[in-house]
Amino acid sequence: MKSAVLRFRIMAIICGVLSLILWFFYMPAKYGFHLERTQPNIIWITQIHGALYIFYVLAALQLSVQMKKSIKGLIWMVLAGTLPVASFILERKVVRQTS
């Protein structure tokens, strides 16, 4: 179970940081300053986050099975990867529960 927790922690932190970048840098650049048309190289942020989010979901699935969480718990774990700060909060909560 320790490896599943470690894998989830790493993915939660990475997805949380990328989510913060998306919400506070990419979205204002795209919708506020319309930089996506003039600076197409900023789209890499969304592609990296999308690819790594798949691994986050897999890590959440593995951990929820090992912790015997309900479907509702799994859904909350998956949704936490979409909100900027939620993945950090959930990661701390999971570490406390498994310690």
What is d(CA 66, CA 60) in angstroms, rounded to the nearest whole number? 10
The DSSP symbol for 43 reads G
In this predicted structure, the answer to whether residue 82 has a pLDDT above a threshold of 90 is: no
CA pair distance 41, 11, nearest whole angstrom: 24
Over residues 72-81, the pLDDT tens digits come to: 989 999 999 8
**Token duo for residue 28:** 């204002």
Distance in angstroms between the alpha carbons of the first and the last residue of the chain: 11
pTM to 2 decimal places: 0.86
